A = this chain, B = another copy of it.
């Protein structure tokens, strides 16, 4: 390695005081989240990271909820939409897309929880919705039903990620599960006959990927079976 008169890399440690932009702030937020978790992504921590005061961030973001939504929109670019256009069973392809979305959120569990409440509306989110609609269309789901179904599927994926993801990372996750297992085991058979008959093993079984895949299957087959309540059987036109 020949010495250089002027080292390129170590010139300075960080991009020292790059001009603030919305994109730059959101990118920094994602970096901090991936390194330290969402609960470290606070306006103050982020401002420190960007060498400024917290007030400056409010020029670009209305509040913390908007920051979270922008972070999700950034991450949503990673959803694998290729199954939308491949050949194969449309249900399998739909489940693949939903899994891809869910996996991204499972890695950032707090984000799923917060996004449950602030739905994004950027291009990445629209593309995801578009892809799901295309698959439902391929499966012959009527448009009025598909409009509701896309929400239902994404809502289910998001909320499952919020639940499972946060649970996985929680410090007292084991404690909490033990409490539930004990409660189930000790449930007296005369008050709770169904619970006693099933037993703890059955009730707590399969909290692996199988359960989510089953959930997606339930939704898809339910969607195919259940007409919207208000709709009269309209003539096709």
CB within 8 Å of B: which residues of A? 62, 65, 113, 116-119, 121-122, 126-127, 129-130, 133-134, 137, 143-144, 146-148, 150, 152, 155-156, 158-160, 162-163, 166-167, 170, 172, 176, 179-180, 182-184, 187, 191-195, 197-198, 202-203, 205-206, 210-211, 213-215, 217-223, 225-226, 228-230
Contact = CB atoms under 8 A, between A and B. Distances in A.
Contact of A219 (B119, B198, B218): B218
Given A180-B119, A219-B219, A126 B195 contact: yes
B214 A218 contact: no
A172 to B, nearest CB: 7
Nearest to A146: B198
Contacts of A180: 119, 121
A35 to B, nearest CB: 22
**Chain A interface helix/strand/loop/mixed:** helix
27 contacts: A65-B172, A113-B116, A116-B116, A117-B162, A117-B163, A117-B167, A119-B180, A121-B180, A121-B184, A126-B184, A126-B192, A126-B195, A129-B195, A130-B191, A133-B195, A133-B198, A146-B194, A146-B198, A147-B202, A155-B163, A156-B156, A156-B159, A214-B226, A214-B228, A217-B222, A221-B226, A222-B222
A144 B187 CA distance: 19
B147 A205 contact: yes
Given A195-B133, A230-B210, A147 B187 contact: no
Contacts of A129: 195
A77 to B, nearest CB: 15
B194 A134 contact: yes
A130 B222 contact: no
Contact of A163 (B116, B160, B228): B116
